[in-house]
Amino acid sequence: MSLDPKRTIAELKELRALTSDENGAQRVAWTDTWLKARKWFLSKLSDLPVEQHYDSAGNNWVTLPGASEKALLIGGHLDSVPNGGWLDGALNVLAGLEVLRRFASEFNGRPPVTIRLVDWADEEGARFGRSLLGSSAFAGTHSIAVDRVRADRDGVKMEDALRRCGVEMDRFPEAERERKNAGAYLELHIEQGPVLESLGLPLGVVLGTKGVERHNITFYGQEAHSGSTPMNARHDALAAAAKLALEIRTIAGKHADAVCTMGSLKTFPGIVTAVVGRCEATLDQRDLNAGVLAQMYREAQEASRRFAAEEKCTVEWSRLWNIEPVPFHPALLNLCEEAVRETSGSTHSMPSGPLHDAAEVSRAGIPTVMMFVQSLNGISHNKIEDTRQEHLEMSVIALDKLASKTVDWILK
């Protein structure tokens, strides 16, 4: 039984038929449809010489024992957002399954190193607002206290929803045991953006996941009557914020892959007859390079103070959230580039704006790399999410090549 990428596509379609409706995929973690997807996945393992178990955080581990206990990990996630696409997360799991089948048959059930496929629990965080849940428990970066108080829109507590699926939050740290003997981690994913399509390339190498600085910025001016206050006497908080909203384009534009977004702006009192006395904005800045990220943050702060002064206002910053950039492993980046080049003839390296489970695995100190396959129109988290069939097949072949190269690398 050799690698059969067409089977991966057939299985993705089977999963779609089983767990989607007219609005898209409905495999939201900790729901009945997600459990149905996981049960379906178990049925695919029956003729393989593998051991399967769920860890204490609900991650599903499928292990093909090898001559060495050192393990190659391949991961993905069967959960989706509500009204999601058919490929996000599921491609990774089913392509990984195909690679595992190939190893099992080529080496008569005993490859040179142990091969482990993992379906991470709740990558999307769609129901409780906590992404990368299972992989962060694995990495030991998870805080039970913060998550215990989370509830969904209907008031169902996260703790209760997990318990219904057999997962006790208090036992999350036991998932760290799965790190034992991990030699490397690979993840294939759809790009979820427009870059590869615009370059006309099927596959790309992911350099790492971008770090994020996310802040609330509030400009304070003075509310005043819009009719009686002369233009030169105003303390207009919106004017200062508006200048910053344009300046962040210059700040990001100095760096090739950096992005800055002012996604929310609220004015107070927010009526047609008053100068804006207070303006609340949010800023999201991302880059793969920690130095670039720090520089952009500093420049945005300086600019905000300059614009506040120009408009006779003041400004205050408060951090909403941040995460450091996670660059992937240099040796694995080289192997990934080889695998992509051998499969599609050319290669492109790019950072990932979205976070992925691979970032958590890498933070746990396990050598990690990701591969992207082109997304049509750059659309994801939507029922129209799609990738050309030939590109999907190439992605399975490239992941398989990368897996073989990584096994050799682990043995070195």
**Under the rule (CB under 5 A), what is the footprint of Zn ion?**
88-89
CB of 93: closest distance to Zn ion in angstroms?
Answer: 10
Can you tell me the distance from the alpha carbon of 390 to that of 78, in angstroms, rounded to the nearest whole number?
22
CB of 220: closest distance to Zn ion in angstroms?
Answer: 40
Can you tell me the distance from the alpha carbon of 296 to that of 301, in angstroms, rounded to the nearest whole number?
9
Residue (128 or 409) nearer to Zn ion, CB: 128
* Whether the Cβ atoms of residue 279 and residue 204 lie closer than 8 Å to each other: no
Residue (75 or 89) nearer to Zn ion, CB: 89
CB of 307: closest distance to Zn ion in angstroms?
Answer: 38
CB of 68: closest distance to Zn ion in angstroms?
Answer: 30
Residue (104 or 396) nearer to Zn ion, CB: 396
* Whether the Cβ atoms of residue 8 and residue 98 lie closer than 8 Å to each other: yes
Residue (113 or 359) nearer to Zn ion, CB: 359
**How close are the terminal C-alpha atoms of the chain, in Å?**
27
Residue (88 or 191) nearer to Zn ion, CB: 88
Q: Where are the alpha helices (DSSP H) in 66-157?
A: 90-106, 133-139, 144-148
CB of 287: closest distance to Zn ion in angstroms?
Answer: 21
With CB atoms as reference, the residue minimizing the distance to Zn ion is: 89
Q: Where are the alpha helices (DSSP H) in 276-329?
A: 290-310
* Whether the Cβ atoms of residue 134 and residue 60 lie closer than 8 Å to each other: no
Can you tell me the distance from the alpha carbon of 114 to that of 335, in angstroms, rounded to the nearest whole number?
19
Beta-carbon contacts of 165 under 8 Å, excluding residues fewer than 6 positions away, are 30, 35, 58
Residue (209 or 406) nearer to Zn ion, CB: 209
CB of 189: closest distance to Zn ion in angstroms?
Answer: 6
Can you tell me the distance from the alpha carbon of 36 to that of 25, in angstroms, rounded to the nearest whole number?
12
